Amino acid sequence: MKVAVVGATGLVGSEILTVLAERNFPVTELIPVASEKSKGKEIEFKGKKYKVVTPSEAIALKPNVALFSAGGETSTAYAPLYAEAGITVVDNSSAWRMDPTKKLVVPEVNGNVLTAADKIIANPNCSTIQMVVVLKPLHEKYKIKRVVVSTYQSVTGTGVKAVDQLMNERAGIDGEKAYPYQIDLNVIPHIDVFQDNGYTKEEMKMIKETNKIMGDDSIRVTATTVRIPVMGGHSESVNIEFENDFDLNEVRQLLAAEEGVIVVDDPANLKYPMPKDAHGKDEVLVGRIRRDESQDKTLNLWVVADNLRKGAATNAVQIAELLSQKGLI
């Protein structure tokens, strides 16, 4: 199994390499790919060193699968070329997510949609991934009518520049900025660019992607996405209105039984999910499970996951694992 990692020198690309090694994905040859300026650099993977090549050079090496995490521009330019060469692409950018001809996949939720014809597969937005993993068993049991979500997103979601800004501000160093405002000791209710409707692109991603992954446009979703000065993971306050009523104990049982979900819900002993606990984990943590007392058939949840792991790298690798299991790569 020849595996190309496009964007291997970036934050998510590095995490993909870690996840591939941890999960013992059957890599016989690794092809680390990055821009021209990184060409020739060495990447270590499972004790062996591999030289970084450019996206064009990697096509000629004919990998079975290419895990892209190099931004929308690179994906738009190169993913079709890889697909034409018979290489299956799992893309972590937003370039293909809402393309009606491309599948948007979270393996635990809709992995069954993948076929041999899918040569470009989109990896969803990090915030959407962790939410739909939790929504799936609840929708199947109670039928979701509406979701109101507010996010509390880690600076790692923006990248190395944002992490540097936070640490520089914390240390009193004046450096390059990823955000228009100070992030340390602050909260910025603005992720990605603003749209004509007053929502940001990140908020609209959560709305549209949820419907596409769940395969149900009747679920109404509204989102407010916020950047906070933490590392380790994204948190979400999720309010879900159902068509049918629920029992709280049954909700906990359904979530605990769901693959990739860990219930951390013991308020009497101050146990609830936090980003520092999600850091380095592949599972989605869920807690603060309680009934919304202002409205019938409505549930409140607190959902936390490592945005670089399940929110990006792990989900991409899990898609590749599923393709491998189905004999599609």
Residue range 97-104: mean pLDDT, rounded: 97
**What is the per-residue pLDDT for 75?**
97
Residue range 63-86: mean pLDDT, rounded: 97
In this structure, how many other beta carbons lie within 10 angstroms of the beta carbon of residue 164?
16
Ranges of CATH 3.30.360.10 domains, the chain: 127-307
Find out whether 221 and 211 touch, Cβ atoms under 8 Å: yes
Q: Is 225 annotated as a binding residue?
A: no
Q: What is the rounded end-to-end Cα distance, in angstroms, of the chain? A: 8
Q: Mind listing the pLDDT tens digit for each residue in 46-69?
A: 999 999 999 999 999 999 999 999
Q: Which fold has domain 2-123+312-325?
A: Rossmann fold (3.40.50)
β-bridge partners, 223? 149
pLDDT band with cut points at 50, 70 and 90 for residue 11:
confident
Q: Which residues of 264-297 are buried (b: 16+ CB within 10 A; e: fewer)?
A: bbeeeeeebbbbebbbebbbbbbbebebeeeeeb
**What is the per-residue pLDDT for 26?**
96
pLDDT band with cut points at 50, 70 and 90 for residue 246:
very high
Q: Is 130 annotated as a binding residue?
A: no
Q: Is 9 annotated as a binding residue?
A: yes
Residue 284 has pLDDT above 90, yes or no: yes
Return mean pLDDT, the chain: 97
Residue 151 has pLDDT above 90, yes or no: yes
Ranges of CATH 3.40.50.720 domains, the chain: 2-123+312-325
**What is the per-residue pLDDT for 44?**
94
HEC string of the chain?
A: CEEEEECCCCHHHHHHHHHHHHCCCCCCEEEEECCHHHCCCEEEECCEEEECECHHHHHHCCCCEEEECCCHHHHHHHHHHHHHCCCEEEECCCCCCCCCCCEECCHHHHHHHCCCCCCEEECCCHHHHHHHHHHHHHHHHHCEEEEEEEEEECHHHCCHHHHHHHHHHHHCCCCCCCCCCCCCCCCECCCCCECCCCCEHHHHHHHHHHHHHHCCCCCEEEEEEEECCCCCCEEEEEEEEECCCCCHHHHHHHHHHCCCEEECCEHHHCECCCHHHHCCCCCEEEEEEEECCCCCCEEEEEEEECCCHHHHHHHHHHHHHHHHHCCCC
Percentage of the chain exceeding pLDDT 70: 100
**What is the per-residue pLDDT for 165?**
98
Q: Mind listing the pLDDT tens digit for each residue in 28-45?
A: 999 999 999 999 999 999
Q: Is 220 annotated as a binding residue?
A: no
**What is the per-residue pLDDT for 152?**
98
User: Which is more confident, 303 or 11?
Assistant: 303
**What is the per-residue pLDDT for 265?**
98
Q: How far apart are CA 146 and CA 222, in angstroms?
A: 8
Which of 160, 157, 113, 83 lies closest to 312, judged by CA? 157
Q: Which fold has domain 127-307?
A: Dihydrodipicolinate Reductase; domain 2 (3.30.360)
Our CA angle for 44, 32, 92, nearest 5°, is 120
List residues with catalytic annotation.
Answer: 126, 234
Residue range 248-271: mean pLDDT, rounded: 98
Residue range 171-198: mean pLDDT, rounded: 97
